[in-house]
C-alpha cells in the first residue's frame, strides 16, 4: 500500500498528525515499505499461473490443477521424458483435454501434445471388449514410458490397454498450438 492509501485508513486526527518528519509519518513510511514486496508479487501474480510464462517448476505444479499430475509423477522421483514446452502445452490445454477424457480423440490429442508427435491411433478390437490398442508412430517410440503413463490416466476406468509401435503409421504434422498472448 502506498502512503496515501494507508493514511486514508486512519482516523481524521491521525491523518492530520501524519506529516513528514513526525513519528507517525515515519511509521507510515515503514508500513508502506513493508508492503512493497507483497505489492510487487501481487502485481505479477498472473505470471505465476500462465502456463507459458511461469517458471518450469511451477508449470509442473500446475498439472495438478488440470488433473494431469499423475502423468508426470513417478514413485522414484525420476523425471519422465517430458520437455518443458510439451508440459506447458499440456497445462494450457488441460481443460480442453478434460472434456475429451476417455475418448479416442482425447487420448490421441493428449499423446500428441505430450510427445510433440502426431499420428497416434486408438483401436478398439471387436474380439476384445473393454480393451484398447494404442498405436504409436515410430517418431514417438523413445517416449513409451510417458505414453504408457498418459494412456493409463486418459483411458476409461474399466478398460485395459496395450501400446504398440506401428511402423506403418505416418507422422502427421501437429496443428499449431496457439501461444498465450503476452
Residue identified by cell 499430475 is 69
| Per-residue pLDDT, 82 | 75
- Give the pLDDT score at 3: 87
User: What's the confidence (pLDDT) of residue 74?
Assistant: 66
Which of the residues in the chain have pLDDT under 70? Answer: 74-81, 173-182
Question: What pLDDT was estimated at residue 178?
Answer: 52
- Please give the pLDDT value at position 63: 84
DSSP of 126-167: TTSTTEEEEEE-GGGGGGHHHHHHHHHHHS-TT-EEEEEE-T
Instruction: Supply the pLDDT for residue 78.
Output: 65
- pLDDT at residue 175, rounded to an integer: 61
Say which residue the cell 498450438 belongs to. 177
Closest C-alpha among 82, 109, 101, 116 to residue 152: 101
Closest to 152 in 3D by CA, of 96, 81, 102: 102
What does the alpha-carbon distance between residue 71 and residue 87 come to, in Å, rounded to a whole number? 10
Q: Which pLDDT belongs to residue 173?
A: 67
pLDDT at 136: 95
Amino acid at each position: 500500500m502506498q502512503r496515501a492509501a494507508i493514511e486514508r485508513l486512519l482516523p481524521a486526527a491521525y491523518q492530520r498528525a501524519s506529516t513528514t518528519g513526525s513519528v507517525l509519518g515515519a511509521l507510515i513510511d515503514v508500513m508502506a515499505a513493508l508492503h512493497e514486496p507483497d505489492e510487487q508479487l501481487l502485481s505479477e501474480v498472473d505470471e505465476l499461473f500462465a502456463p507459458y510464462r511461469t517458471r518450469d517448476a511451477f508449470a509442473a505444479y500446475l498439472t495438478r490443477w488440470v488433473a494431469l499430475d499423475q502423468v508426470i509423477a513417478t514413485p522414484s522421483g525420476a523425471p519422465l521424458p517430458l520437455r518443458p514446452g510439451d508440459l506447458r502445452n499440456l497445462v494450457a490445454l488441460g481443460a480442453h483435454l478434460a472434456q475429451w477424457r476417455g475418448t479416442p480423440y482425447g487420448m490421441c490429442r493428449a499423446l500428441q501434445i505430450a510427445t510433440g508427435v502426431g499420428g497416434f491411433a486408438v483401436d478398439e478390437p471387436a474380439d476384445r471388449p473393454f480393451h484398447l490398442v494404442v498405436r504409436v508412430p515410430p517418431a514417438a517410440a523413445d517416449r513409451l514410458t510417458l505414453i504408457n503413463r498418459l494412456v493409463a490416466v486418459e483411458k476409461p476406468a474399466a478398460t485395459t490397454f496395450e501400446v504398440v509401435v506401428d511402423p506403418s503409421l505416418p507422422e502427421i504434422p501437429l496443428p499449431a498450438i496457439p501461444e498465450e498472448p503476452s
